[in-house]
Amino acid sequence: MVAEPTATGVPEPSTAPAPVPVSEPSSASSSGQPAVPLVVSVSGRVQRPGLVEVPGGARVADVLEAAGGALPGTDLAGLNLARRVIDGEQVAVAVPPAPDAALAAVGVARGPGSTGPGAAAGPGAPPGRIDLNSATPEQLDSLPGVGPVTAQRILEWRARNGRFARVEQLREIEGIGERRFGQLRELVRV
């Protein structure tokens, strides 16, 4: 059982956020090579929001520790502290999703005159679709048929292969078969 991090003191916030290194997690790289540092953005109810630097193989708990821990009274029940993080990820601590984001992710129209799931997206992008190249684990997890494991596999594919060029590349991810891809095709974009 992993204990929740607790804040022992409230440090003064710095004026310029800088990556904060933390100690190597117990799961070192299997090749024996030193882990490549990852830079993760931390937002929400933490002592020091901003960029932190953690070693490769780090978990959300390590990121939380690098950000000085959660603020007193923060509920961490919705945060998977054991999940591995990837470079460039954002970890949001006790930040509720925007109401429209959850509805758009599952294809619910938002109001009169809505022509598709969700509202405005970038220029030329279908409205309300989640961008596979910038989606957070939480956004991916909100898609139908995509849980935390498949969301992590999508992020790992992105870390290994770079940007998605086509939505069809989702088929290369373990756990996304033809049926699930059919569900996701209209809810995501690149």
One domain, residues 103 and 185: yes
Helix boundaries (H) for the chain? 60-66, 99-105, 137-141, 148-161, 178-184
Percent of the chain scored above 90 by pLDDT?
18
How many structural domains does the chain have? 2
- Spatial distance between the Cα atoms of 46 and 72, rounded to a whole number of angstroms: 9
| CB-based contacts of 43, cutoff 8 Å, min separation 6 | 49, 90, 91, 92, 93, 95
Per-residue pLDDT, 120: 35
One domain, residues 108 and 82: no
One domain, residues 105 and 129: yes
The per-residue pLDDT for range 100-109, each reduced to its tens digit, is: 444 444 444 4
Per-residue pLDDT, 159: 86
Per-residue pLDDT, 55: 95
Helix boundaries (H) for 44-147? 60-66, 99-105, 137-141
| The pLDDT of residue 91 is above 90 | no
Per-residue pLDDT, 183: 86
Q: Which residue among 46, 67, 93 closes a domain?
A: 93
One domain, residues 83 and 105: no
Assess if residue 3 is contained within a domain. no
CATH number of domain containing 183: 1.10.150.320
| The pLDDT of residue 110 is above 50 | no
The DSSP 8-state label assigned to residue 167 in this structure reads: G
| The pLDDT of residue 186 is above 80 | yes
One domain, residues 44 and 72: yes
Q: Which residue among 67, 93, 119 closes a domain?
A: 93
The range of the structural domain enclosing residue 87 comes to: 38-93
Assess if residue 134 is contained within a domain. yes
Assess if residue 121 is contained within a domain. yes
One domain, residues 80 and 107: no
- Spatial distance between the Cα atoms of 114 and 119, rounded to a whole number of angstroms: 7
One domain, residues 109 and 183: yes
One domain, residues 65 and 131: no
One domain, residues 104 and 76: no
One domain, residues 83 and 142: no
Assessment of whether the complete model's pTM goes beyond 0.85: no
